[in-house]
Amino acid sequence: MSATSVLNPPQREAIRYLDGPLLVLAGAGSGKTRVITEKIVYLIESCGFSPDNIAAITFTNKAAREMQERVSKRLVGKPSRGLTISTFHALGVRILREEAGVLGYKPSFSILDATDCFGIVSELAGSADKLAIRKLQSLISNWKSALVSPDLARKKARNESEILAANAFASYSATLQAYQAVDFDDLIALPVALFENHPAVRDKWQNRLRYLLIDEYQDTNASQYQLLRLLAGARAAFTAVGDDDQAIYGWRGADIANLRGLPRDYPNLKLIKLEQNYRSTVRILKAANALISHNEKLFDKKLWSELGHGDPITVHVCQDKEKEAESVVMKLQAHRFQHQGAFRDYAILYRGNFQARAVEKFLRQQRVPYLLSGGQSFFEKAEIKDITSYLRLLANQDDDPAFLRAIGTPRRGVGSSTLQALGSYAGERRISLFAAACEQGFVPRVQARQLAPLLEFCAFIERLKARAGCKPAGQVITALLTAIAYEAWLYDQDDARTAQIKWGNVQEFCDWLSRKGDEDRKTLLDLAQTIALINRLDEQDADIDAVRLSTLHAAKGLEFKHVFLIGIEEGVLPHRDAETENRTEEERRLMYVGITRAQRSLHLSYAEKRQQGREVVPCQASRFIAEMGSDDLRFSGGRSETAPDRMANAERFSALKAMLNKGK
């Protein structure tokens, strides 16, 4: 039996349609990933497409990996070499590496992360105000995502502060160019500029990538949409998969108008709806459909399921957030015991990270294992990345991002003008920044006072590398921290408490490196050569039997047998700023995403009062609860508990008691 024979009719139609541009409106749990992977297989096996002419574009590395694994399983023993399955940013890197010369970059240009860019913006602005710098950084990012150039930003400026911001944007762009570096926004914006200004290059890529499949289309921003349009060209051979009901990233530039604009930009667009849900019970979907019906609809769609009616949705009213957290943990434990489930079957979801603290406390008290999604990895902390930049440079002196970070953390008297001159020279010579600093040809480019600290830094790295190749790892890392006076620098940068925490993290990291060196009999240089793999450690948590704690945003794309949605109150969900910022519909979609994560059971809760600062304020149930309809909701707690609910609780308790007695 072929794989397509078990697909439903709309899925089969979506896979086989090749007569023009296609929009697949895929509801939550409707098998969109399967449709994309099966279409890739269909294009290769049945339509004669070469794998290197196909590109599937996702938003996350996790989604790309999952899709790659599925396709590989389906194409066992068949040619798949050259197939592109990647994120938007990874595709952007590929295009830019190949076409770097056209834009005046060397192929080995650096990609700077947000922390690296923060330092550049801070220096250009001449300010130590972190909040102001982050706002400016966010504004520059929004400009780039909207394809606004520094010149256009200047023209649009309405007051002095906007003019200053536009000037900072221009200086920032020039600095990155001089450093032979790009930021994450450039990975999309630069390929767009490349294709718009160089038709021959655009034609080359259109002929190379002859069929495009785009996942989560509703999450594209202006620059991503334009990149796709330029890649698709007049041929418009693409399948876009999206769901307007799950557009929840407007705050980071995603524009649902891109979905609305598809029928306008492609008049012959074919629309296929995937409405059969393979994830959730009828009751859960009925509540989700009722909720989302209160939004203005781009496309009419209604999810349905053959997985049975399922349990009623519970709504528990709690006295305060502490009682809510305690109640959720106790109910989760009782439910797990009753159904003999695993911890990994459960998720506790919330609007903001602050809501996790109380829940974490009770989970720890009850010794319930849990994983926190959306939190910062230890290896992503700024202070750890500072130290690893030195280690990366020891392992590879051609690592330009590591060079830029290390030379500026702490500062060594090497200013931005020196680095700009170095970047320009390295670009001309097509060599790394480290190599360029050591060439005689660079000497006339800067003054002697500028050159001296640069050469001293390079000499320091060479000396450290020599020691790192033969001395114990712990001894060398201690010498490094002492030489750069990193602890003192932290206390100069931050308040005492923050600096203490950061220094503690650095010490923990260095202790780990020292132990690793002793246990594995490896030098610091040996360890440095594998340092890039370290930050992958936190990705290995998929098989851990633990309750998942996650924001609603971070939970998108995931599913769990049992879901607890907490803090469903006015001011939390929808967020208090939603009405004034005209984002109520996006908040409703966020609630919809939370509901549709649940496969078998859904449990909502909210508090009657919450602590805000020093005062206790009364809370109201979110309007979204009433919008779900009352037929399938069962309330308990607070003033709203009904007799049937108390009876149901008593029945559950009796069942638990019987199970316990049985085990004696």
Peptide bond between residue 263 and the one before it cis (omega within 30 degrees of 0): no
On whether 594 is known to bind a ligand per the annotation, the reply is no
Burial of 526 (0-12, 13-18, 19+ CB in 10 A): middle
Partner residues linked to 371 by β-bridges: 548
Catalytic residue among 37, 246, 388, 596: 246
Tokens coding 513:
């490196």
DSSP string, 417-456: HHHHHHHHHHHHHT--HHHHHTSGGGGGGS-HHHHHHHHH
Residues in the chain: 664
DSSP string, 616-629: EEE--B-HHHHHT-
Q: Residue 265 contacts by C-beta under 8 Å, 6 or more apart in sequence?
A: 229
Catalytic residue among 39, 301, 597, 600: 597
Identify the DSSP state of 81: T
On whether 279 is known to bind a ligand per the annotation, the reply is yes
Catalytic residue among 32, 323, 405, 623: 32
On whether 26 is known to bind a ligand per the annotation, the reply is yes
- First-to-last CA distance in the chain? 49
Using alpha carbons, select from 646, 639, 645, 555 the residue that is nearest to residue 593: 555
Pairing mode, if any, of strands 22-26 and 238-242? parallel
Angstrom CA distances, 231 to 150, 197, 210, stand at 25, 14, 9
On whether 242 is known to bind a ligand per the annotation, the reply is no
- CA dist 117 and 184 (Å) reads 10
On whether 504 is known to bind a ligand per the annotation, the reply is no
On whether 30 is known to bind a ligand per the annotation, the reply is yes
Using alpha carbons, select from 194, 238, 220, 243 the residue that is nearest to residue 89: 220
32 catalytic, yes or no? yes
33 catalytic, yes or no? yes
Contact 174, 419 (CB under 8 A): no
Largest CA-CA distance found in the chain, in angstroms, rounded:
87
Catalytic residue among 123, 186, 215, 324: 215
Using alpha carbons, select from 311, 316, 364, 288 the residue that is nearest to residue 562: 311
297 catalytic, yes or no? no
Helices (H), 485-523: 486-493, 496-520
Catalytic residue among 216, 400, 586, 587: 216
- CA dist 589 and 450 (Å) reads 55
Identify the DSSP state of 215: S
On whether 308 is known to bind a ligand per the annotation, the reply is no
Catalytic residue among 33, 68, 319, 584: 33
On whether 27 is known to bind a ligand per the annotation, the reply is yes
Identify the DSSP state of 245: G
Identify the DSSP state of 252: G
Q: Residue 433 contacts by C-beta under 8 Å, 6 or more apart in sequence?
A: 179, 180, 400, 403, 404, 419, 422, 423, 426
216 catalytic, yes or no? yes
215 catalytic, yes or no? yes
Using alpha carbons, select from 347, 371, 391 the residue that is nearest to residue 528: 391
On whether 33 is known to bind a ligand per the annotation, the reply is yes
Which parts are annotated binding residues for ATP?
A: 26-33, 279
Which parts are annotated binding residues?
A: 26-33, 279
Catalogue the active-site residues: 32-33, 215-216, 246, 597
